[in-house]
Amino acid sequence: MTPFVERAAEMGLNVEGAAKGLFFHSDRYSTVVYRSLMSGYLPGEDEQYVHPTDNDFVPVVAVYTSPPNEEDYKYCGYVSNVYKFVGNDILNQQIRDSVQSIGLPIIDETAIMSYDLTRMRNEIAIQSSKEVHQVGDVIPVMVVNNSYDGTKAASVAFAISLDYDGESLSFAFKLGEMRMVHIESASTTMTSAIGTYMGAFSENIVDLISSNFENRVTEEQMLATLDLIEAVGKRRREAIAKLLDDMQDGASGLPTLWQMFLGIVRYSSLEQNLNAKKMLESAAESVLVIPARMYEVLSRLESGQTD
């Protein structure tokens, strides 16, 4: 594959500093800098000592990030020479354009950045809510994920947002998540995928919530789900168990599937650690009964089939 430095311009990186192995990209979320690496020696060392590996290019690229409009750069690791860069807002704009091309306004965006600014999660809420009598309005959401350090492939997940006791809760399905290879395969792919999801959302969201309202978790499900959460941290398991107790308000027996789901999502919506958030959403999804038609649609979208 063509080396990173030779693909920098076509990937959307600024190449003004290419002569010194420096490439960068800035947008509203952060600035990222990629630097070519070369072996050498420290100033002051005996320059008479020569080694065959001196001034040799290292086949990885260093990553530095800074908050937008600042120059407080921090080293954040490295990517391989075959890493494929895509800018956060370049990807977000592609999804915005796809949503708006099917005539749906965007009502809100909520971006979360990792502490080192290498990962982004952006929730794009669409003005096409569906009222479900048990919970009120449910809003369809597109969740855009991206990373600058190669730890997370660019992807788009299908999601929902709802209010609970004045809190805005969001949840992204792992099922149906589309990787970059599908997102960029054709200019119409994402537009078609969003239209397909909106149809499934409109037709199935009432059934999804109602069926989970009516059924209770088994003791085996309860323990398995809490064990899954404990893999993210014992403190999180304890906090979610307490949330479930509070939601039942003293009622005896095990919670409903919806209460179990909602308890996890209430906690994950406040989670700022993107890895933990992803794992908690997977735990929440594991207790959901997803209508067969919606499951089929999400499965097809995940494989890149948008029709």
Q: What is the pLDDT of residues 90-125, one digit of tens each?
A: 999 999 999 999 999 999 999 999 999 999 999 999
Question: Nearest-CA neighbor of 61 among 77, 40, 42, 73?
Answer: 77
pLDDT, residue 250, reads 62
| Residue 180 and residue 249 in one domain | yes
pLDDT, residue 186, reads 53
> What is the number of structural domains in the chain?
2
CB proximity list for 192: less than 8 A, separation 6 or greater: 306, 307
* CA gap 205, 208 in Å, rounded: 5
pLDDT, residue 179, reads 84
In a domain, 307, yes or no: no
In a domain, 138, yes or no: yes
* CA gap 43, 65 in Å, rounded: 26
| Residue 245 and residue 111 in one domain | yes
* CA gap 207, 66 in Å, rounded: 45
| Residue 112 and residue 74 in one domain | no
pLDDT, residue 74, reads 97
Of 80, 108, 124, the position where a domain reaches its end is 80
Of 62, 80, 98, the position where a domain reaches its end is 80
pLDDT, residue 44, reads 61
| Residue 45 and residue 103 in one domain | no
pLDDT in tens, 187-209: 567 889 999 999 999 999 999 99
H or E element at residue 168: strand 167-172
pLDDT, residue 46, reads 63
In a domain, 69, yes or no: yes
Of 26, 52, 80, the position where a domain reaches its end is 80
User: What is the domain range of residue 223?
Assistant: 88-302
- Beta-bridge mates of residue 145: 121, 155
Q: Please, what is the average pLDDT of the chain?
A: 90
pLDDT, residue 112, reads 96
Q: In this predicted model, which residue has the larger pLDDT, 148 or 215?
A: 148
* CA gap 63, 67 in Å, rounded: 14
Minimum mean pLDDT range among 40-54, 96-110, 187-201, 261-275: 40-54
In a domain, 38, yes or no: yes
Mean pLDDT of 129-153: 93
Contact by Cβ (8 Å): 91, 25: no
Q: Tell me the torsion sign for CA atoms 6, 8, 14, 19.
A: negative
| Residue 141 and residue 289 in one domain | yes
In a domain, 225, yes or no: yes
| Residue 134 and residue 64 in one domain | no
Q: In this predicted model, which residue has the larger pLDDT, 72 or 51?
A: 72
Q: In this predicted model, which residue has the larger pLDDT, 99 or 303?
A: 99
- Tokens describing residue 69: 């409009």
Q: Tell me the torsion sign for CA atoms 163, 167, 173, 177.
A: positive
Helix intervals (H) in the chain: 4-7, 88-101, 180-183, 189-214, 219-230, 234-248, 257-268, 274-287, 292-302
The percentage of residues in the chain with a pLDDT greater than 90, rounded to a whole number, is 67
| Residue 68 and residue 137 in one domain | no
Mean pLDDT of 131-159: 94
